[in-house]
Amino acid sequence: MRIVFAGTPEFAVPCLQACRASGAQVVAVYTQPDRPAGRGRKLAPSPVKQAALAAGLAVEQPESLKSPEARARLAGHAPDLLVVVAYGLLLPRKVLAIPPLGCWNVHASLLPRWRGAAPIQRAILAGDAESGVDLMRMEAGLDTGPVLLEKRTPIGPDDTGGTLHDRLSLLGAEVLAEGLRRTLAGQVLAATPQPAEGVTYAHKLDKAEARLDFGRPAIELERTVRAFDPWPVAEGEIGGESVRIWSAQAIDRHHDATPGSVLSASRNGIELACGNGALRVTALQRPGGKRISAADYLNARPELRGAPK
């Protein structure tokens, strides 16, 4: 079986490795063009491109797959199956029709919940109890295709966008490997249409969402802090200073204080008044600084100890 793999970020790398280990032949790897990165804004290859080149695989980086020339080049690889994992480019209907076995997508949610660009973070923000990965047969719509296989995982109280991302990345490779194993053994995977009920969309993250509104309930702010670690990282104000907030817990604490004011500050954390409850900040980052504990922050700002501010 000849596979063309399409993916871009680190999330997709284990799935590329699963394709290579399956016994199928990966005849080409499609990934987005190199993008500026780092302080020098030099062009940098995607994690999938780096993995593909290290494995000696052919790499294609078209700006789009809409042109007849791009489609002809893809068809020239004669893929039996196209596997897409966080590629980041739309696949026109004519592209989906090229492989005889169709196009598979590994999506980081339990469809139809959280179709779209940021399913991992949206699940944490919403307080979902579980997430997972779906192996889906692609259609022209956005994540609308029937589900072939699924794996689930609980979302723990300490899960961040980063930890859930890493776990789902490995689960995605597992579900893809199972689908490939069954197909190579001659099985036809049952395609289960997505239910019409429960459809939600995981819109792309916006850095403006990272600014914490302390008028909201503390539990919602805790989820924001967890979901936006490691990017874009929650931001808030403590005693008049704008900081990045890396770690925080919601506290069930009654108060009549102004939202955002400091209720208490100790080595255990800095408790900030919220619309409902309080948010105890335990790790943060000053402008231009590095991530530090609340205890280290208070060493630099001892005035926050004592009376509420």
Q: Give the residue ranges of the annotated binding site.
A: 109-112
CA distance 204 to 68: 29
Indicate whether 37 and 136 sit together in one domain.
Answer: yes
Residue 217, preceding bond cis, omega within 30 degrees? Answer: no
Indicate whether 141 and 228 sit together in one domain.
Answer: no
**CATH, residue 260:** 3.10.25.10
Helix axes 161-184, 13-21, angle to 10 degrees: 20
306 torsion bin: left (phi>0), alpha (psi -120 to 50), beta (else): left
CA distance 259 to 262: 9
Indicate whether 218 and 179 sit together in one domain.
Answer: no
Dump strand ranges (E) for 15-86.
25-30, 35-37, 42-44, 59-60, 81-85
Indicate whether 173 and 276 sit together in one domain.
Answer: no
Q: What size, in residues, is the chain?
A: 309
Segment 20-39, tens digit of pLDDT: 999 999 999 999 999 998 88
Segment 203-227, tens digit of pLDDT: 999 999 999 999 999 999 999 999 9
Domain boundary among 202, 226, 259: 202
Domain boundary among 202, 223, 250: 202
Domain count, the chain: 2
Q: Report the amino acid identity of residue 222.
A: E
Indicate whether 153 and 179 sit together in one domain.
Answer: yes
Domain boundary among 202, 219, 236: 202
Segment 172-206, tens digit of pLDDT: 999 999 999 999 999 999 999 999 999 999 999 99
Tell me the pLDDT band of 41, cut-offs 50, 70 and 90.
Answer: confident
Q: What is the mean pLDDT of residues 67-79?
A: 97
Indicate whether 18 and 116 sit together in one domain.
Answer: yes
Q: Give the residue ranges of the annotated binding site for (6S)-5,6,7,8-tetrahydrofolate.
A: 109-112
Name residues whose C-beta falls within 8 Å of residue 186's C-beta, 6 or more positions apart in sequence: none
Q: Is residue 136 domain-resident?
A: yes
- 113: domain range? 2-202
Closest residue by Cα to residue 281 from 271, 273, 289: 271
Closest residue by Cα to residue 87 from 126, 29, 42, 44: 29
